[in-house]
Amino acid sequence: MTQATAAPPRAARTAPASVEDRAVKRRRVLDILDARGRDSLLLTTHTALTWYLDGSRVHISLAGDPVAAVLVDRDGDHLVTFNNEAGRIAAEELPAGVSLHSVPWYGNLHEAAAAVGRSAAAAGQGPLVEADVASELRAARQQLLPGESARYALLSGELAALMTDVLSRARPDTTEFELVSRLAGRVVAAGAEPLVLLCNGSSRSGFRHPLATHSPIGRRAMTVVCARRDGLVANITRWVRFDAGTPQERDAESRIAAVEADIFDATVPGARLDRIFTEIKTAYVRHGFGEDQWEQHHQGGPAGYAGRDPRVTASATDTVVLNQTFTWNPSGPAVKIEDTVQLTESGLQVLTVDPRWPVSTVNGLQRPATLQL
């Protein structure tokens, strides 16, 4: 009788943080402190923490607050977490050069983090908080570094591939819950977190944010997935149908892709988000959707460490930069298009791509068509 060979142990989790990339991010934050004449900044939101730590996981509940806070001080970086999280974070999530402090699980995380910095205490003032420098932090996150770009492209490609795998096996009697549960399983198996899972079958196509139900998808369905890994959030929408579609549907699909193409054309270095927003509103009219369509659903915006960072509106004055990522999502009645893209020196690069998915060429760029089964 032969002895069974033990399966090799799985690789231990290590934070993806790059020493070089973290040094750039620290310099960006120190520049904010210099401009404000302050000595420390307290980071408390998931978006800011995962960006600054370069991909560390700082959550337990997807619906809860982070279980860590970071004080960026002129003397160094200090991560404060609860005592029941400290061991795991030290072993799996703590980047090199970050000091770890713990407080009791019932303690006040933010108060403890604000008190660890020596330079702030010496100056007799508390640290800046994120709300004080929200626009500056957002600007610091805009331009992805090479390591971040590589991780984002990998996640986005995997997300597009699993969408193809799951949707190509759908049938008219597949329920919306069945479809999103299959997608959720694949997302988690990829080491990511499903932040948004939407689905509407043909009976619910009027809803633009359709949480799944037990309804069969019928002749046509839309699915939306937003998945997070190493802090970065990739977003994608795909459509599937089981007939050739009506002329009205095919026409609407073509026109919404033309709206998106106009948005892409407006997404260039130096453009301001509020001016892109103006272009979005005129693009709907230009392509026959009516001047009120932009009011029926948000239009997307920059992406990265938040699903949208920020959503584009008339009051968003951020300036577009190279290597920034975006997810625009124009929509109309029973039609929508959405991918995660990055603005590179050679133009927009679509990240959520699977070569197996059917495409059409719109303004020189391959865009997803409806998968017909």
Separate counts of helices (H) and strands (E) for the chain? 10, 17
Is 113 within 8 Å of 40 (Cβ atoms)?
A: no
Q: What is the spatial distance between Cα 239 and Cα 217, in angstroms, rounded to a whole number?
A: 11
**Beta-ladder partners of 183:** none
Closest CA to 140 of 66, 232, 31, 43: 31
pLDDT above 70 for 346? yes
pLDDT tens by residue, 69-121: 999 999 999 999 999 999 999 999 999 999 999 999 999 999 999 999 765 55
Look up residue 344 and give its two tokens. Answer: 């590179």
Helix (H, G, I), strand (E, B) or coil at 200: strand
pLDDT of residue 260: 98
CA atoms within 13 A on the CB side of 247: 0
Q: What is the spatial distance between Cα 145 and Cα 133, in angstroms, rounded to a whole number?
A: 21
pLDDT of residue 187: 98
Q: How far is CA 152 from the centre of its chain?
A: 9
Span 236-243, average pLDDT = 98
Q: What is the spatial distance between Cα 318 and Cα 7, in angstroms, rounded to a whole number?
A: 51
Q: Cα–Cα distances in Å, from 346 out to 3, 306, 324, 342, 350?
A: 57, 25, 13, 10, 12
DSSP-assigned states of every residue in 84-131: HHHHHHHHHTPPTTEEEEEE-TTS-HHHHHHTS-HHHHHHT-PPEEGG
Domains (range + CATH), the chain: 19-133 (3.40.350.10), 146-372 (3.90.230.10)
pLDDT tens by residue, 279-305: 999 999 999 999 999 999 999 999 999
